[in-house]
Amino acid sequence: MVSIQIRHLTKHFGSTLALDDVNLTIESGEMFFLLGPSGCGKTTLLRHIAGFSTPDQGQLLFDQRDVTRLPPHKRNTAMMFQSYALWPHLDVGQNVAFGLEERRLPRAQIETRVQESLQMVRMGHLADRKINQLSGGQQQRVALARSLAVRPDALLLDEPLSNLDAKLRLEMRSEIRRICKQFGVTAVYVTHDQKEALHLADRIAVMEQGAISQVGTPREVFRAPRTASVASFIGEANFLPGDCIAAAGPGRQATARTAHGHFTGRLTDPTWHPQPGEPVRLCLRPEALRFGESPYLPNTIRGRLVDSIYLGELAQYAVQDAAGTTFHVSELNPANPRPADASEVSLTVSPDDVMILRA
Amino acid sequence: MKRLPTYGFLLFIFLVMGCFFVYPIYHTVREAFTRPGGGFTLEYVGHIFGNPLYREGLGNALKMAAGSTLGALILALPLALLSARFTFPGKALLSALVLVPLILPPFVGTIGVKQILGQHGALNALLAPGAIAHGYPPDWLGHGRLLGVVLMNALHLYPILYLNIAASLANLDPALDEAAENLGCPPWRRFWRITLPLAMPGIFAGASLVFIWGFTELGVPLMFDFPRVTSVQIFDGIKEIGGNPLPYALVAIMLVASLLLFLLSKFLFGRSDFAGGGRASMAAQTPRLRGIQGWLATGGFAAITLLAVLPHLGVTLTSLAADWNDAALPSGFTLQHYRDALSHGLTVPSILNSLKYAGLATAIDVVLGLAIAWIVVRTRLPGRHLLDSLAMLPIAVPGLVLAFGYLAMTREGQPFDWLIGPQEDPCWIIVIAYAIRRLPYVVRSASAGLQQTSVSLEEAAQNLGCTPWRSLCRITLPLIAANLIAGALLAFSFGMLEVSDSLILAQKGEHFPITKAIYNLNGALGNGEALASALGVWAMVFLSITLLGVGLLLGKKMGALFRA
């Protein structure tokens, strides 16, 4: 297992900047996620770690060892490809044995390792199958077994679940985490599915336009997004513009004036110290908003209920204020969903759930 | 599609294939095993194997085939790998030039090769002027000229192999290779363990075509005066076709050997184990070779291409040479041969004939090929698999066999004598011969196009109120146009260059296609070779313009044509 350090990695493809001064440290044994919309550079970064691309600038270190110019076959990483990339001319067992043969392991040891790896992914009985006789989920397991059989220093996963159906995807999610933790392998996992990342990750790096926007545990990136784009990419967000009145005190509390009166909340970016009068943006999660009784308390939004969607485990409402801004509200386990009758409502939010960001 | 017309069409295609593919073969084979009064006999076949002359012919045919295949493979494999995996200076131009050998009939090329590599050719004049003076210049074409035949075949046929290998490499998911790299496999071992096995179906598909082609090649050994090979023995046998059953027996043996080979390659690599390679999930990144490496790649590529245009060069120089003997270059240049060739009574009609034959045959191929591909890919009609195999089989049947069959079945008193008529005009029979032999190319490219075009695209059109027929015209045809044009192009240019059907079926000067005109001119006394070369250059120019025109029409899609 290695730790991976990425320093000032920059890469151009023609005139587009694919990686923009990326800096990251991935700890040994960590399950680390690269999360972002498609085209944000997450797969490019993964391919740099594997060695399929070399950066224009910057360094890549495995355990302090510089591997920036090392060819892929000498890096001892194992990548799980989105298309699985299982070789159709070899059977399941031969696919898994391939990397071990390349490492010149004795025959007997190869056989035990192949069996071990296949059993780990519950495919032990199918070693003689041809690749095109396997279902999508089975191919996925074989690809995982092939990667893990070589005991890689780092496991690289490129959207490994995107070709599976929804149910299988949920099942394999837990499976992958179980197996990775059992091996204790350093894993870098690329996905655009925030649920997958929140579910599995030790830490997440959110990427945007080739750069890292924020790194943190699932709870940190969800509860304390530092930018509006991170907030809206992970989970849903309502935004409310305002001006800072006071920012001080323990817990980095701050107060802002908005079209709906004063709001108290917390600053999410520890490096930011807004001055009174500075414009800010409040971020309110739909599930943090609650229908309130009194319209005159602080942290309250007034508007009309214009839409109501019943989804079983929750109900989604849309509330429009006088200025025409729409706020989305989620109510968990709704017994009597409110009708969309344009009635006057007020929404309150706890100061702990108001996230104050740069405008 | 309504059911009834489709069935009608299926029946029609079976009828056409039955009359003009199965029947002529049957006719030939029957002659080989029937004694004069009727009744089965193995006497003729036995006679062939008992005669050392014929045994040697068969042995030479095998050598010719194996040598041509090996030569073509040595040329094509490195080129295909290089262009599939790397970018290097001049790549676009060079990979277009790979197709150049296809524009010259190989038997015309032999004139040029003899001029350059022959005992009194340019190479000896360059290397060993002294040896010529002593009268013992080295013979680069080898004893008995077999080496020359093999070289010529390899140079002419390697593009077919190149296209096949390049296509199978292009269809591989680059992740398959990266996965091996990622698991610790260095480049050279990766080639042996992953790339080569996965490219094997392409290599074998191309190699079996080249092998059968080489096995039955008639024009090249004929021009090299190499008579001890089966194809030439059959050709010589026609002169006495009325009574002699031995040519038929030879043809039957050739047919069986070719079919066995074809089935063997199907059996070895036709199974679908390799087909799971899947479409590429991402575009392959081809690293750019820089500096020395880049120029080495370019140089190697260019050298092979140069070698392949050697015949063209020789032919062109011969056609322009006032005198060219024992010298590196002609001693003087003249356009007289072109004037002579054009004013020769055979020339203009033969060009027009070839255009007519190849054009009509291509039109038939496009209609039949599209229909067959559509039935095979898009319908669930019973008999479609049989139709598919039947339509692909002409690839495995030597042109000589079919030509022989056509000749036999249109003789007076035979069921199809009306096709030639009392004027003995072989136009339609030649067109049919061309069309049947090239049908597989069109079927294959059309079905590749249809397979890559999702049915849901057609269904979406029909869902929006388009009739099936109109959805075929508006959606499917435009989408597979590139594939169809590619197939048609191959059919047309192979038709223009066709040798065995042309030599055998066109008996009178006024019906000669261009290849037979060249063959006849070459035999003329005096400046025959120069005249034939001049006409060959005309054919070359003409085919290049055709290919170039289609290239311009299609723009960037041209490259995709041969990857279908």
Instruction: Please indicate, yes or no, if residue A90 is contained in any of the structural domains.
Output: yes
Instruction: Please indicate, yes or no, if residue A231 is contained in any of the structural domains.
Output: no
pLDDT value at B138 more than 70? no
Cβ-Cβ contacts under 8 Å, B180 against chain A: 73, 87, 98, 102
**What's the whole-number mean pLDDT along residues A330-357?**
91
**Residues A219 and A289 grouped into a single domain:** no
**Residues A276 and A248 grouped into a single domain:** yes
The reported pLDDT for the residue numbered A317 is 95
d(CA B354, CA B511): 9
From A223, A245, A279, the end of a domain falls on A223
Which has more confidence, A129 or B333?
Answer: A129
Instruction: Please indicate, yes or no, if residue A21 is contained in any of the structural domains.
Output: yes
Q: Are strands A203-208 and A31-35 parallel, antiparallel or unpaired?
A: parallel
**Residues A240 and A214 grouped into a single domain:** no
B198 touches chain A (CB under 8 A): yes
- Percent of chain B's residues with pLDDT above 90: 5
**Residues A245 and A187 grouped into a single domain:** no
From A160, A192, A223, the end of a domain falls on A223
**What's the whole-number mean pLDDT along residues B71-86?**
88
Cβ-Cβ contacts under 8 Å, B193 against chain A: 98
Instruction: Please indicate, yes or no, if residue A172 is contained in any of the structural domains.
Output: yes
The reported pLDDT for the residue numbered B1 is 46
Q: Are B468 and B462 in contact (CB under 8 A)?
A: yes
**Residues A244 and A349 grouped into a single domain:** yes
- Among A53, A90, A102, A156, the strongest candidate for a mutation testing the B interface, having the largest count of B CBs within 10 A, is A102
Which has more confidence, B559 or A16?
Answer: A16
Give the list of residues 6+ apart from residue A188 with CB closer than 8 angstroms, or none.
A4, A26, A32, A33, A34, A46, A49, A154, A155, A156, A157
CATH number for the domain including A188?
3.40.50.300
Shortest Cα–Cα distance, B163 to chain A (Å) = 22
pLDDT value at B563 more than 70? no
From A223, A252, A273, the end of a domain falls on A223
Shortest Cα–Cα distance, A233 to chain B (Å) = 25
Q: Residue B351 corresponds to which tokens in the numbers above?
A: 């060009």
Q: Look over chain A and give the mean of its residue pLDDT values, rounded to a whole number.
A: 90
**Residues A202 and A115 grouped into a single domain:** yes
Of B448, B436, B433, B434, give the one whose Cα is nearest residue B373: B448
The reported pLDDT for the residue numbered B144 is 57
Instruction: Please indicate, yes or no, if residue A154 is contained in any of the structural domains.
Output: yes
**Residues A183 and A303 grouped into a single domain:** no
Shortest Cα–Cα distance, A43 to chain B (Å) = 12
What region, left, alpha or beta, does residue B338 occupy, with left being phi > 0 and alpha being psi -120 to 50 degrees? alpha
**Residues A285 and A310 grouped into a single domain:** yes
Q: Are A356 and A304 in contact (CB under 8 A)?
A: no
**What's the whole-number mean pLDDT along residues A259-276?**
89
Range of the domain at A98: 4-223
Instruction: Please indicate, yes or no, if residue A88 is contained in any of the structural domains.
Output: yes
**Number of domains comprising chain A:** 2
The reported pLDDT for the residue numbered B274 is 46
Instruction: Please indicate, yes or no, if residue A229 is contained in any of the structural domains.
Output: no
**Residues A171 and A246 grouped into a single domain:** no
The reported pLDDT for the residue numbered B553 is 64
**Residues A39 and A138 grouped into a single domain:** yes
pLDDT value at B271 more than 60? no
CATH number for the domain including A299?
2.40.50.140
The reported pLDDT for the residue numbered B281 is 43
Instruction: Please indicate, yes or no, if residue A120 is contained in any of the structural domains.
Output: yes
3-class DSSP state of A184? coil
**What's the whole-number mean pLDDT along residues A157-172?**
86
Give the list of residues 6+ apart from residue A278 with CB closer than 8 angstroms, or none.
A243, A244, A359
pLDDT value at B360 more than 90? yes
The reported pLDDT for the residue numbered B145 is 74
**Residues A148 and A281 grouped into a single domain:** no
Pairwise CB contact (< 8 Å): B198 & A89: yes
Q: Look over chain B and give the mean of its residue pLDDT values, rounded to a whole number.
A: 79
pLDDT value at A208 more than 90? yes
**What's the whole-number mean pLDDT along residues B207-211?**
84
d(CA A301, CA A354): 12
Angle, vertex CA B36, rays to CA B400 and CA B398, nearest 5: 10
pLDDT value at A147 more than 60? yes
In this prediction, residue B525 has a pLDDT band, given cuts at 50, 70 and 90, of low
**Residues A86 and A145 grouped into a single domain:** yes
B288 touches chain A (CB under 8 A): no
Shortest Cα–Cα distance, A163 to chain B (Å) = 11
B183 touches chain A (CB under 8 A): yes
3-class DSSP state of B286? coil
